[in-house]
Structure 1
Amino acid sequence: MTQIPGMIGVPADGDAPLDTRPAIRLELDRKTRARAAIAGSAGNLIEWYDFYAYAYTALYFASAFFPEGDRTAQLLNVAAVYAAGFLIRPLGGWYFGRFADRRGRRAAMIASVLLMGAGSLLVAILPTYATIGAAAPALLLVARLMQGFSTGGQYGAAATYLSEIAEPGKRGFYASFQFVTLIGGQLFALLTIFLLQTAMTDAAIREWGWRIPFVLGAVLAGVFILFRDAMHETAEPAGKGEEAGSMKTLIQHPRAMLTVMALSAAGAVTLYTFTTYMQKYLVNTAGMDVATASRIMLVVTFAFLLLQPVLGMLSDRIGRRTNLLIFSGGMTLFAVPLLGAIGKVQTVWTAGLLIFAALAIMSFYTSVSGLFKAELFPASVRALGVGLGHAIASAIFGGTAEYAALLLKQMGHEQAFAWYVSAICAVAFVVALRMKEPRAHGHLH
């Protein structure tokens, strides 16, 4: 197999060797690359639709699995199961990252989407607490663990794939579609809930309609198999070699891992605060009804999606590091006043504008989230480094964000959560300030 300087995993002339792993010669035209990126992004969209369907239907099925207590207590129980899906993500990040580095990014993405669909199908057919008692929330936990394991692997494989398939000089634009489709998954989940609210009564949704989004997710996961032929592998599968996908190789890049974890922690806690938790915050704190909160989130999430390719292209000009400094610095300064103002909103327009302001700051991170991480690692451990580092930070800070916010509210210290978000972003700002520009000094050539 011919190796070409500047290809994936092969250093350009004059560079120090970055990776001993063979690279596939990617002589793909722009149309073929775009088609492959779309196919890979479709899998990412399905994955995240399934994952977020749980968050957006929680207000309807909480009483079916946790019948005792007030609304906040029920939501705390559902949030605990939601958090469990995050806590298993590092294991999924390790397993699928290793799989992707050894067997190929394409194979790992397909396997993780199918596992996610299986988890959604289980939720869709689960009996309620009234039917089988304590076994119902236990099985809900099993399904959520399946989904969390899958998501932990999908992130690293998708980030690596989209970064590697992209045209040099346009990686910011191509890689931004990881979050276009991640947000698209959220948006699709919100749209599904909106359509249910339009077509069904509130009582009917609580009784059985909440199952429909999960059935749809399982079906879409199966349909994804049709996209597999459009996806071109971007790195030579390395089999069971000692270097590829190994923790032994990964620990040789401690600075990259710590950078990924610190910035992922800030990204995760702010993303889940201003997206999935925000619907509950509008209902539980600002006093809005569920339908109004869903409509607000539907509109601002769509606007959030449109920002991703714009700021991804911007990063190709100003650098990933600049994007990350704007995000972390902005959130350090504005997380507290934004959350405080949103909790006291009086109109739908005000709520929408404030949430969009937060998401606009977030977009400087999300648009380059997978790309800058992929640029920090050599090809042999790229999927593992990205997937595991991101999953650990997301499990600790993203998965617990909603639970922490609800718990502090129950304790009467709701504003403390906003300061917590700001503090995590301040740490990320220091890390971004000290890092080298990954576009120029990274391993993705």
Structure 2
Amino acid sequence: MLAGRVRDVTETQTTSPPTQRPVRQLLAASVGNAVEWYDWYAYTFLATYIAAQVFPKSADDSLVPLLSTFAVFAVGFFMRPVGGLLMGAVADRHGRRAALTVTILLMGGSSLLVGLTPTYAAAGVLAPVLLVLARLLQGLSVGGEFAASTTFLVESAGPGRRGLFSSFQYVSTTVGQLVASGVATLLVGSLSDGQMNGWGWRVPFVLGAVLSLVGFWIRRGAQETRSAEQREAPRPGLFEALRRHPRESLLIGGITAGGTIAYYTWTSYLPTYAELNAGIDKSDALLAGTLSLAFFALLQPLGGLLSDRIGRRPLLLFFGLGFALLAVPLLHTLRDSFAVLLLVQCAGMVLLTGFTSISAAVNAEIFPPRVRAAGIGFPYSLTVALFGGTAPYVGTLFKDQGHAGLFPWYVAVICLVSSVVYLRLPETAHAPLRR
């Protein structure tokens, strides 16, 4: 029934002329998205320095450790879905370009707030309060960015290029992560511990605020992708996508669950997993992770182009069934060897590309344009929070309980469930996108 309903949707699509400046559109979405994720990951890489200054262990106020816990929880599991819903609604009501402008200004402002947050020694409990506020705004921005940029990228693509344009969602995300890692590594390597704790940790966030202004300038010149009919139609309600398209919302969750747990396991958690379970040296684990991420970014356009030729479903099944069959053998192959870790990571990246390179296109092709951004944003971000964001915690929990070998099976089972969804998906690659 679900597949039939989505098939009916895709078969009644109408065409609209593609944007006149596709390269500028691609640049506007990609540069802004890279800046967004640079700011997000900069906090991750420098969290220990920030915590030492803003959440000191010696703090007498009992609110300080509470705020430390809340900062991680609220941003990771609450604000991203909220951002997907709110910024998606902005994109559907006021235009994709307007939403992209709001998200990058939010991220730039919150990044600057992190960089200027006073220490606990200087401001007391106000310091962690400001940092929590900044992270809440960053979570709102990141959740909204995917909804807006996904819609914008796919609607900007010309005929037969939606998969290619879609792939730059994860190209830019990975570039942002690599730049954040590089900046953090450069600072840690060139400054003393005293300098890093004093002012060095602030530099990436001030730089992020400046880069956000550059992204804002590029996005201001982008072309709006909503059709004239959409702009003249009554504005959709905040929960209209969920209310009128519940099956499509559930479909987004089913598509995303396997992809997000595999993505966060292979791109974020695998170095730590290798350290905990295979005795890999931390520096080797981080180097392998960096090299595999660069390899991953290069693969994305190839996956997008391939999907424009052979369709979305074959790539999704390649990813889903590949991880269902190989996640356990790959993770059990890990041992105290840099070469083995790098091969395992790169093999996973090849499989993962079947999902990441086309997820934006697949999502955008499911919803009608009236509620496309909000329809994607909320269920996608919620699924990421439930499955992707918790992957490192689930893996660590299995390890603490003495059942580390169960985590690969957990990943495999979730990917198998998503594969069942992929089998039922109608093929949308060669149907025109509704405008």
TM-score range, shorter chain: 0.7 to 0.9
Structure 1 gap ranges (5+): 1-10, 70-76
2:214 is matched with which residue? Answer: 223
C-alpha distance in structure 2 between counterparts of 1:280 and 1:121, whole Å: 29
**Do the aligned residues in 2 keep the contact of 1:89 with 1:152 (CA within 8 Å)?**
yes
Closer/same/farther in 2, CA of residues 405 and 216 from structure 1, 3 Å limit: farther
TM-score by length of 2: 0.86
Kindly state the Cα deviation for residue 230 of structure 1 after the two structures are TM-superposed: 3.4
Q: 1:191 aligns with which of 178, 182, 186?
A: 182
Equivalent pair of 2:280/2:336 in contact (CA under 8 Å): no
CA distance, structure 2, for counterparts of residue 161 and residue 279 of structure 1? 33
Shift of residue 122, structure 1, vs aligned partner = 2.0
Q: 1:383 aligns with which of 366, 373, 380?
A: 373
**Inter-CA distance 377–202: structure 2 relative to 1 (3 Å threshold):** same
Is the Cα contact below 8 Å between 1:176 and 1:366 reproduced in 2? yes
Matched with 2:273 is: 281
Structure 2 residue aligned with 1:426: 416
Query: SS of the residue aligned with 1:346?
Result: coil
Residues 397/184 of structure 1: CA separation in 2 closer, same or farther (3 Å cut): same
CA RMSD of aligned residues (A): 3.0
Specify whether residues 294 and 64 from structure 1 end up closer, same or farther in structure 2 by C-alpha distance, changes over 3 A only.
Answer: farther
Asked whether 1:33 is paired with 2:27, we answer no
Distance 2:182 2:264 in 1: 18
Provide the identity percentage: 41
The corresponding residue for 1:47 is 36
- Within the candidate set 341, 358, 365, 2:355 is matched to 365
Cα distance in 2 between the residues matched to 1:171 and 1:314: 11
How many residue pairs match? The answer is 419
Structure 1 contact 79–402 (Cα < 8 Å) conserved: no
1:141/1:130 CA distance change after superposition, 3 Å: same
Distance 1:123 1:236 in 2: 38
Partner of 2:160: 169
Could you tell me how far apart the structure 1 residues matched to 2:401 and 2:118 are? 32
In structure 2, C-alpha distance between the alignment counterparts of 1:207 and 1:289, rounded to whole Å: 28
The alpha-carbon deviation at position 137 of structure 1 amounts to: 4.1
Which 10-residue stretch deviates more, 406-415 or 102-111?
A: 406-415
Please tell me the residue identity of whatever aligns with 2:30.
S
Deviation digits for residues 411-433 of structure 1 (CA, Å, limit 9, x no counterpart) = 43333333222221111011111
* Cα pair distance change 1:279/1:295, threshold 3 Å: same
> TM-score, structure 1 length as denominator?
0.85
Alpha-carbon contact 2:19-2:156 (below 8 Å) kept: no
Retained in 1: the 8 A contact 2:55–2:128? yes
Which has the higher mean CA deviation after the structures are superposed, 286-295 or 255-264? 286-295
Matches of 1:365 and 1:51 in 2, distance apart?
22
- Go from structure 1 to structure 2 and tell me whether the alpha carbon gap of 1:136 and 1:279 turns closer, same or farther (over 3 Å shift): farther
Cα distance change of structure 1 residues 93 and 428 upon mapping to structure 2, 3 Å threshold: same
Q: Output the CA distance in 1 between the equivalents of 2:417 and 2:16.
A: 38
Mapped to 2, the partners of 1:53 and 1:340 lie a distance apart of: 31
In the other structure, the counterpart of 2:307 is 315
- 1:169 Cα offset (Å): 0.8
Output the amino acid matched with 2:348: A
Supply the distance in 2 between the matched residues of 1:123 and 1:280 (Cα, whole angstroms). Answer: 26
CA contact (8 A) 2:150 2:169 kept: yes
Choose from 46, 65, 78 the match for 1:57: 46
Q: Secondary structure at the match of 1:88?
A: helix
Instruction: Note if contact 1:43-1:110 (Cα within 8 Å) is conserved in structure 2.
Output: no
In 2, the alpha carbon distance for the partners of 1:80 and 1:405 equals: 21
Q: For residue 97 of structure 1, what is the aligned residue in structure 2?
A: 88
1:385 shift after superposition: 1.1
Paired with 1:94 and 1:150, the residues of 2 have a C-alpha distance of 11
- Deviations, residues 299-347 of structure 1 (Å, cap 9, x unaligned): 11110000000011010112111111111111112223333334xx323
Q: Which moved more, 1:286-295 or 1:236-245?
A: 236-245
Per-residue CA deviation, residues 240-295 of structure 1 (Å, 9 max, x unaligned), is 95453653355333332212111212222221122222343345554455544332
CA offsets per residue over residues 58-86 of structure 1, 9 Å max, x none? 354444455559xxxxxxx9787444323
CA distance in 2, matches of 1:62, 1:283: 23
Matched, 1:118 2:109: yes
Q: Say yes or no: does 1:305 pair with 2:297.
A: yes
CA apart distance, 1:374: 0.3
Structure 1 segments, 4+ long, off by >6 Å, are 77-80
Amino acid at match of 2:225: T
Deviation at 1:196, TM superposition (A): 2.1
Structure 1's 58 and 422: CA in aligned 2 closer, same or farther, altered over 3 A? farther
| Distance in 1 (alpha carbons) for counterparts of 2:331 and 2:126 | 37
Residue 293 of structure 1: which of 285, 288, 294 is its match? 285
What is the distance in 2 between the residues matched to 1:138 and 1:406?
28
- Paired letter, 1:295: L
1:405 aligns with 2:405: no
- Work out whether residues 240 and 371 of structure 2, in 8 Å CA contact, stay in contact via their aligned partners in 1: no
Secondary structure (helix, strand or coil) at the match of 1:41 reads: helix
